[in-house]
Structure 1
Amino acid sequence: MTAVITLASAARLDHVERQQARLQALPEPPEAIVVWLDDAAPPASLARHARIVHVPPGPHGLRLAAGRNLGVGAALAAGHELLVLLDADCVPAPDLLDRYAAAAHEHPGALLCGPVTYLPEGVTVEVDTDLGPLTAPHAARPDPPDGRCVVAGPEQYPLFWSLSFATTPAGWAAFGGFDESYEGYGGEDTDVAFRAREAGVPLVWVGGAHAYHQHHPTSSPPWQHLDDILRNGAIFARRWGRWPMEGWLESFAGAGAVERTADGWRRTDGSAAGGS
C-alpha cells in the first residue's frame, strides 16, 4: 500500500491539481494525502481525489516540516507501507511509484531519492502530457540508469531534496521525521538528511523514479525568503555547526543585504531575522 503525501497552498493550487490528476490516472492510483497549509479552507475540488489534512501557518510562515509530519502520520495510521512525498509543483513520471517501491524492497528503511527535471517555461502539464522527451534531471545530483539504485556516500547527504523522496515506516521512524522548529522556507530538508546520516539511514539514488517540477517564476537568490533563510539557517547551525544554503547567503552578501559575523550571518541593517 502506497501513500503520496503533498503539501499544498493556494499559491500552488493549479500545480497540485495537475499532480493529483496524473496520480489518479495511474493504473493503480495511490492514496493521496494533501496537507493544506493556508489559513483559508482548501477548495472542494481537491477533496474529490485526496484526503485533506490541515496545518495552519505559524508566526514565521508556512509550516512545511509540521505539514510533512502530519501527512505521514495520517499515512502511517492507515497502514501504508511506502511513503512517497512530492512537492505540490512536482508531477510523477508513470513509473515513479514502481521505481520507489522496488528500491524500498531492495533497500528497506532507506531514504530514497529520484531524479528531478525542472520543466521550462511554457510547458503546461496535463493528464496525457508525455514528459519523457523533456527528461533532463538536474545536474547537481546523481542520475543512475533506469531501475538501478546507488547508495550515496556520506558527503552526498547535503544533496537530499524533499521535493521528491520516499521511505518506509521503518525509515521514517529511524530518522524521526522533520523538526517542526523550522518554519517558512529552507533548512528543514537538509536537517532531515543530516539526522538520517547520523542515524545510519542509507541515502539511495533511485534511477528512473523521475519527477518533473512545473515551472513557476522564482528569483535567485530567493529574496522573498531572506529572513526565513537567516532564521532557519541559525537553527541548523546551532545543531550541526555549519550553515546551510551558503550559496544564497553569499549572493545576499554580494548584494549588501547580509554579512558574515563570528556567529554566522545577519542582516547588514542589524535587524533580526523575521524583521522587515
Structure 2
Amino acid sequence: MICVIVPLHPTQDRRELLEAKLRALEGQGELEVILVSDAPHPYAFLDEYRPPYPLRILHDPQAKSAGRKRNRGAAAAQGEHLIFSDDDVVPEPGWLEAFRQAFAREQAVYLGGFRFREGHAWKPALRLGRVGFNNVNGVALGMPRALFERVGGFAEWLEGYGGEDLEFGYRVVKAGIPLRYLPQAQAKHLGPTPTRDLLKARQAGAQAARIARYHKDPKLALELGVHPAQLVLKMTTLPWMKGLLGYTGDYELAYAWGAWETRYDQRPGEGRRA
C-alpha cells in the first residue's frame, strides 16, 4: 500500500484545493491518506467526507512546520511506500499508478511532475544528466519507507517557510540514494507560484543560510547561493543592477537579503537534527 501524506495549512482559500485533491485520489486504486494539521478541526467538510480509501486526520498542536507534519504522518502510515504531497496539489489520473510502477522498478526517491496554475510546466534542472537535491519539493515526493527512515526524515529544526525539502534532498544525495524525476506522475499545483512572491524569496534565502550553516559544507553554501563571498557580491551589485534583470533581479535581491539577515541568527535546536 502507498500512503499519501498531506501537511495542512488551514486557511479558507485552501479548503477547496484540499477537497479537489482528495476527490482526485478516489479513483487511483489502493492507498491510504493521512492529513496532518496543527489545528484541531481544520475543515468542516472532512467531518462528512467518506472517501473509498482509508483517511485519517492527525492533530499535532506542536507541528507548526511542514517537516514535522510530514514526519508525524510518516510515523502513522501503514504502507511501505510514502508520497508527500501538499494540500494545494491536485493529482492527474494515473498519478498513483506511475509511482507504483516506479517503486516496483527501482528503490529510489522520486519527484513527480506538475504544472503551475498559470499553465507552465515544472522540470528539474539537471546537472550532468542527474536530478539535483535542490529540485526536491513537496508537490509529489515519493519513496519507500525504508529510504525515508535511512535518511532520518525531515529536519524539524527548520521553522517557517521552505527549506525542509531541499535539506532532505541534500541528505538523500549524500546517502547515495538515487533521486529520480518521474514525469509520468503529473499533478496541478494550484497554489501561488513561490518564485513570484518576494516575501517567500526572502524567507527562502533565510532558510538556505540556516541549512548551509547547519551542515558546514562550503559547496552546499555555494550551491544555495549563500556563501559569504556570494552574499557580499550580491548585496553590493544587485541594488543597482536589479533593474536590468527585471523581476529576477528583485527576487535574487530579496533572497540575498534573507540570507544576509540570517548570518548570525541561530535558532534553538538548529545545532542538532531532529
Residue in 2 aligned with 1:193?
Answer: 169
**More deviation in 201-210 or 9-18?**
9-18
Residue in 2 aligned with 1:233?
Answer: 208
Structure 2: how far apart are the matches of 1:233 and 1:201? 22
SS in 2 for 1:201: coil
* Matched positions, count: 235
Residue in 2 aligned with 1:131?
Answer: none
Answer yes or no: is the 8 Å Cα contact 2:82–2:143 preserved in 1: yes
Distance apart, 1:233 and its partner CA: 2.5
Answer yes or no: is the 8 Å Cα contact 2:161–2:200 preserved in 1: no
Residue in 1 aligned with 2:74?
Answer: 72
Distance apart, 1:258 and its partner CA: 2.4
TM (normalized to structure 1)? 0.73
Unaligned stretches of 5+ residues in structure 2: 227-233, 235-246, 268-274
Residue in 2 aligned with 1:10?
Answer: 10
The C-alpha deviation readout for 1:144-200, integer Å capped at 9, x for no partner, is xxxxxxx962x6222122221100111112211101001111111111011001111
Aligned amino acid, residue 265 of structure 1? W
State the structure with bigger RCO (CA 8 A, min sep 6), 1 or 2: 1
Structure 2: how far apart are the matches of 1:166 and 1:230? 26
SS in 1 for 2:158: coil
Distance apart, 1:64 and its partner CA: 0.7
Instruction: Go from structure 1 to structure 2 and tell me whether the alpha carbon gap of 1:218 and 1:200 turns closer, same or farther (over 3 Å shift).
Output: closer
Distance apart, 1:232 and its partner CA: 2.3
Structure 1: how far apart are the matches of 2:195 and 2:248? 14
Answer yes or no: is the 8 Å Cα contact 2:198–2:250 preserved in 1: no
Note the 1:102-251 alignment, pairs <5 A: 102-108=101-107, 110-120=108-118, 137-141=121-125, 153=130, 156-216=132-192, 220-223=196-199, 226=202, 228-238=203-213, 239=215, 240-241=217-218, 242=221, 244=224, 251=250
The percentage of aligned residue pairs carrying the same residue is 25
Residue in 2 aligned with 1:145?
Answer: none
Structure 2: how far apart are the matches of 1:190 and 1:237? 11
Residue in 2 aligned with 1:94?
Answer: 93
Distance apart, 1:137 and its partner CA: 2.4
Distance apart, 1:217 and its partner CA: 7.3
Higher normalized helix content (fraction of residues): 2
Instruction: Go from structure 1 to structure 2 and tell me whether the alpha carbon gap of 1:166 and 1:160 turns closer, same or farther (over 3 Å shift).
Output: same
Instruction: Go from structure 1 to structure 2 and tell me whether the alpha carbon gap of 1:272 and 1:178 turns closer, same or farther (over 3 Å shift).
Output: closer
CA RMSD of aligned residues (A): 3.3
Instruction: Go from structure 1 to structure 2 and tell me whether the alpha carbon gap of 1:22 and 1:40 turns closer, same or farther (over 3 Å shift).
Output: same
Instruction: Go from structure 1 to structure 2 and tell me whether the alpha carbon gap of 1:167 and 1:139 turns closer, same or farther (over 3 Å shift).
Output: closer
Structure 2: how far apart are the matches of 1:188 and 1:175? 13
Distance apart, 1:42 and its partner CA: 1.8
TM (normalized to structure 2)? 0.73
Residue in 2 aligned with 1:258?
Answer: 257
